Amino acid sequence: MQQLVEIAGLGKSYSMTGREVPVLSELDLQVQPGEFVAIMGASGSGKSTLLHILGGLDRHSRGSYRFAGRDMNALNDAQLSAIRANEVGFIFQSFNLVPQLSVYENVELPFFYAPETPADADQRIVGALSKVGLSHRLRHRPSELSGGEMQRVAIARAIVTSPRLILADEPTGSLDSATGEQILAILEGLNEAGTAVLLVTHNVEVAKRARRQLVLKDGRFVA
């Protein structure tokens, strides 16, 4: 079976005041289609940087990264945008919803970055919101929702294009335990339906929900 995510010797550095500052070093990772993987680590360990590289939001400096067999550093910006629009869904701790837009319009956003809007876009949007239990909130704005509801909108936006991979960056970090449990149950359901999930967290109990756990420290996997 072809790996969905395959990185080897991956490194990332940033130039700051004339010197190279390493953030990630010599990372090796493989994620199979439909797998559920958690990456743990303290703040500053490089978790978010790795997620941005895996999602095509940033490029690595060294090593290799192949997504579904494609060399990500060999792709141009338009090709990376197409992958983000169609094959990768992002879920952030801070929700990243547009406050001026309705719930429906927020979930619709990925289609603006796709080459063409699918004919069944409305059906997909309503279906995604139904999966997270928010089909009755289509016309509400984010300010009218609870934190848990906003995160469910973010999940609906992430899955509306039926991605192969969901990248979740501390998706329960700003929620109470009961609401966090609901969000994790949704992610588990998506994974059981065949979507690969890569979850970044500092919470050991959250990480245990994944089938495989990795620990990132100072830009390296240590466990």
What pLDDT does 76 receive?
93
Q: What CATH class has 5-221?
A: alpha beta
Q: With a cut of 70, which residues of the chain have pLDDT below it? A: 115-116
For position 28, what pLDDT does the model report? 96
Q: Positive or negative CA dihedral for 119, 56, 92, 170? A: positive
**Model pLDDT, residue 173:** 86
* Per-residue confidence (pLDDT) for residue 115, from 0 to 100: 66
